[in-house]
A and B are shown apart, each in its own frame.
Chain A
């Protein structure tokens, strides 16, 4: 893990549905736990800004997009599985998950 790396995260939601709220809560928790101080979270509500859906190839809600660092990664769902989210965001090395 490179601690100096900044994480730019974007969470796409559609209104304040239960899934969206859960996802946001989960995300915030993981970020605080693992990326303290080196992340930004942008929440985009597609009901308000539907034109943004195309740009990040969003089709499922909620979707978490890791814009930085490259490559772009996407995690869909309410982010309830912590391990999967961390692997998806490449926060914890994959081999740790296996052990």
Chain B
């Protein structure tokens, strides 16, 4: 049954420039394998956007994961400050230094201590760096932030010449270097125009606060000799360091499965071609407030857990305990699944952090728990954190990621009571594979729930609006009753049913009366027909009588004439006399 369609990936075999993996989650994907090997890369951005951390992570991961020792030359922070700052990320710089895997060197430049007279060069820096590189056999070098030299030294002419020399010297040394630079004013990437010297790869970091929520973004401005992602990729700094999220996989080359998963609601499965959702598909359940979206989601989760599959439930509105309690009222024991370790709740207010952070949290949890079903309830709340287009972009990435992992995902979305918004909630309706709409049917002083399938890719789904009821024993669906005045639900449906039953009795009664009437009419008619027939017979007889008499008269006349003729001949028999007398 598990048929998997795999699309062949065509990889062109062009020679690629050698790259050094950074080991930073996502960054290597964006750059197509890392930063250019043996060449300097410029990382620029405003203060506090994560330049130092990114470059330090490059060194630490190089030492830990790729066995490439690195030198970190800091022009801003002292080495012990650095070590302290990144200790929270689990980087033990002091130990790495003791193990000769990395070397930290703080270059202290204080203008007040320095007087410049005449010609000089930066050979001292070269020697220091060279010594540091040689002492541990470094393959990676970070200069953070070399622009501090400009504030410390007055002679810019010398500085610029020396910097040019430094970068070509680094290339000669064959080390992969990262140079950080503060973002300049206007359009320049760095204050001192470092991009002029480092022309192989430039990565721009950005830190924006929109609606009081900050998002960090990364963009590769330039990467000579290599294909790279050109978008702005959000990135995060959390307890594991930096994660870049490139996951807008531009290629739609996902594996697909034709396996089906049950929704946990029998009639709903039936509406979906009798089998339920496709495995690994995305399902949107949208509806107005209080239409039972969460219940549908919980039903799905419950069913999945019953089949011993793992589930992950992201609640953005209710706390897990609240959901568990509420679902108990419709006979669903989610606590049991939680205890079994099959179901995991992750509840957070959307405003807790930005969309990207949410996405990363979701990623990480999915990677850790490896669920088969993920529920996000509701995605509408995420709009409080970002704009609709941002939420959409996030959900695209999430759906892409989930489909790659073959995880079925169910979103719930709140719609407002307008027809237009039904079509455009978060703009994800075009992304999802199946869209179930739950809506209020308000009629006759009560509110009932109707459910229908707006779309379901790849299957013959029902076009019917079904009334969906939440009972003590779970969710059930009844056919929406189509009365003479339109669709009827709830008590109106019951009333209409009763009314129709009464009508039926009355009608059958009326029917039998009519039948009898017809019978009577028929009888009357038959009687009439009978009398007419006899009348006709008598008329016919009358007519016949005249006819026969005429015939007889004619016969007798003929005979008489014959008789007379005979008599005239003189041999008339006696009997003819008798006949003649009889007829008269």
Contact = CB atoms under 8 A, between A and B. Distances in A.
B473 interface: no
Task: Tell which of B115, B116, B119, B122 has the most Cβ of chain A within 10 Å.
Answer: B115
B124 A14 contact: yes
B153 interface: yes
Contacts of A87: 115
A63 B149 CA distance: 15
Given A54-B128, A59-B125, A59-B128, A80 B118 contact: yes
A74 B120 contact: no
B239 interface: no
Interface string B122-155: 1111011011000000000000000001000100
A43 interface: no
B113 interface: yes
A99 interface: no
Interface stretch (B82-90, B101-109, B288-296): B101-109
Contacts of B109: 57, 59
Contacts of B118: 19, 22-23, 77-81
> SS class of chain B's interface: helix, strand, loop or mixed?
mixed
Given A54-B105, A57-B108, A61-B122, A85 B117 contact: yes
A62 B120 contact: yes
A53 B127 CA distance: 8
Contacts of B115: 73-76, 84-85, 87-88
A41 B124 CA distance: 19
A87 B115 CA distance: 9
Interface in A10-57: 12, 14, 19, 22-23, 46-47, 50-51, 53-54, 57
B449 to A, nearest CB: 74
Nearest to A88: B115
Contacts of B575: none
Nearest to B158: A60
Contacts of B113: 71-74
Given A73-B113, A76-B114, A61 B124 contact: yes
B120 A53 contact: no
Given A50-B131, A54-B105, A59-B107, A79 B124 contact: no
A46 B127 contact: yes
A68 interface: no
B128 A76 contact: no
A78 B117 contact: yes
A87 to B, nearest CB: 7
B121 interface: yes
A46 B132 CA distance: 13
A60 B122 contact: yes
Nearest to A50: B131
A37 to B, nearest CB: 24
Contact of A53 (B114, B128, B149, B153): B128
Contacts, number: 95
Given A54-B105, A60-B153, A77 B127 contact: no
Given A57-B108, A61-B122, A61-B123, A50 B128 contact: yes
B358 to A, nearest CB: 44
A12 B116 CA distance: 14
Nearest to A12: B124
Contact of B120 (A47, A72, A77, A81): A77
A63 to B, nearest CB: 6
B353 to A, nearest CB: 41
Contacts of A61: 120-124, 127
Contacts of A72: 113
A83 B124 CA distance: 24
A58 B124 contact: yes
A94 B149 CA distance: 26
B116 A75 contact: yes
Interface string B89-113: 0000000000000000101110001
B124 A84 contact: no
A76 B105 contact: no
Task: Tell which of B109, B127, B153 has the most Cβ of chain A within 10 Å.
Answer: B127
B128 A58 contact: yes
Nearest to A56: B124
Given A57-B108, A59-B107, A60-B153, A46 B124 contact: yes
B114 A74 contact: yes
A48 to B, nearest CB: 10
A70 to B, nearest CB: 12
A87 B116 CA distance: 11
A75 B116 CA distance: 6
A16 B321 CA distance: 78
B122 A88 contact: no
Contacts of A75: 114-117
B119 A59 contact: no
A87 B114 CA distance: 11
B157 to A, nearest CB: 13
A88 B120 contact: no
Contacts of A78: 117-120
A99 to B, nearest CB: 19
B117 A80 contact: yes
Task: Tell which of A73, A76, A79, A84 has the most Cβ of chain B within 10 Å.
Answer: A76
Given A54-B105, A78-B118, A88-B117, A14 B130 contact: no
Contacts of A57: 107-109
Contact of B124 (A23, A60, A71): A60
When A and B form their complex, which 4 residue pairs have the shortest distance between CB atoms, in order from nearest?
A88-B115, A80-B118, A50-B131, A61-B123
20 contacts: A14-B123, A19-B119, A22-B118, A22-B119, A50-B131, A54-B105, A57-B108, A59-B122, A59-B125, A59-B128, A60-B124, A61-B121, A74-B114, A75-B114, A75-B115, A76-B114, A77-B117, A77-B120, A79-B118, A81-B118
Given A50-B131, A60-B123, A79-B118, 6 more contacts: A14-B123, A59-B125, A74-B114, A75-B115, A76-B116, A77-B118
